[in-house]
């Protein structure tokens, strides 16, 4: 009786492992090279948003810039965690460094302070979020992986909200790109 129970448990465990492996292979098979590139680019961009958000929270002069920076850290950390899960499902190793554009923007911002910092950060965030929104919409419409498309849709909603907020902040600071 006991050995029969053990056999059933072993059989169920093996079946679960095979099913999980099969689902992972299926997710990888449905992800195109473009899907994989999108995920990698989104992860790098998200790391940049977090890094720049931390900088804005520290170096920003105005309360709205500091608060926006804090929101970038919180929201893009959350999005990054979800995107890393998708990356694992489609066989993409999450990058260890942020985007080159993000590093260049950080280098430009680090030497600024006060209103100059705020205006440059706001301008960079408007531009970046406009580009990101277009990329996320494109992936949502044209992607082949259901998991990546779902992540793009979720990211699109967050990025759209960020873009609306940063445009209001830009108007308040008289920033016109």
Domain range list for the chain: 1-30, 32-172
Assign domain 32-172 to its CATH architecture.
Up-down Bundle (1.20)
Looking at the chain, the whole-number percentage of residues with pLDDT higher than 70 is 83
Tell me the pLDDT tens digit for each residue of 121-155. 999 999 999 999 999 999 999 999 999 999 999 99
Assign 3-class secondary structure to the chain: CHHHHHHHHHHHHHHHHHHHHHHHHHHHHHCCHHHHHHHHHHHHHHHHHHHHHHHHHHHCCCHHHHHHHHHHHHHHHHHHHHHHHHHHHHCCCCCCCCCHHHHHHHHHHHCCCHHHHHHHHHHHHHHHHHHHHHHHHHHHHHCCCHHHHHHHHHHHHHHHHHHHHHHHHHHHCCCCC
Q: What is the pTM of this model?
A: 0.83
């Amino acid at each position: 009786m006991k050995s029969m129970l053990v056999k059933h448990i072993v059989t169920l465990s093996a079946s679960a492992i095979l099913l999980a492996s099969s689902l992972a292979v299926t997710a990888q098979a449905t992800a195109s090279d473009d899907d994989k590139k999108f995920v990698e680019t989104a992860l790098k961009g998200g790391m940049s948003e977090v890094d720049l958000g931390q900088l804005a929270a520290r170096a920003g002069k105005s309360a709205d810039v500091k608060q926006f920076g804090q929101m970038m850290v919180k929201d893009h950390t959350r999005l990054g965690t979800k995107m890393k899960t998708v990356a694992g499902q489609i066989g993409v190793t999450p990058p260890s460094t942020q985007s080159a554009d993000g590093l260049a923007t950080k280098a430009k911002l680090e030497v600024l302070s006060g209103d100059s910092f705020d205006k440059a950060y706001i301008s960079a965030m408007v531009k970046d979020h406009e580009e990101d929104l277009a990329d996320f919409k494109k992936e949502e419409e044209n992607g082949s992986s259901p998991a990546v498309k779902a992540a793009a849709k979720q990211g699109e909603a967050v990025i759209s909200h960020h873009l609306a907020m940063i445009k209001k902040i830009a108007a308040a600071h008289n920033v016109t790109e």
